[in-house]
Amino acid sequence: MLDLDHFKELKDSFGHPFGDQVLEVVGEVLHTFLRTTDAPCRYGGEEFALVLTETGQQGAVVTAERIREQIAQHAFRPRDK
């Protein structure tokens, strides 16, 4: 499971369209770091479930950390319309 911390506060401060942009970026990151045999699924408002096929606990932790680092490094800015 993956959950975005402080997502409600982000949407309240910057608006729902910006929150949608953040979710799109997270989706792009997931598709970049997961294999075609894995399945990222949006589970709730800011929650995702990741099905990592043929992956043990250690591999899942490594994958999760790579995803976390990439999202943390991203400079989220509203897109021009």
- Which of these is catalytic: 24, 46, 47, 65? 46
Find out whether 10 and 18 touch, Cβ atoms under 8 Å: yes
Q: In this structure, what token pair is assigned to residue 2?
A: 């993956």
Q: Is 46 a catalytic residue?
A: yes
**CB-side exposure of 35: number of CA atoms within 13 Å?**
10
Which ranges of the chain would DSSP assign to H, the alpha helix? 7-14, 16-33, 57-73
Amino acid at 29: V
Catalytic residues: 46
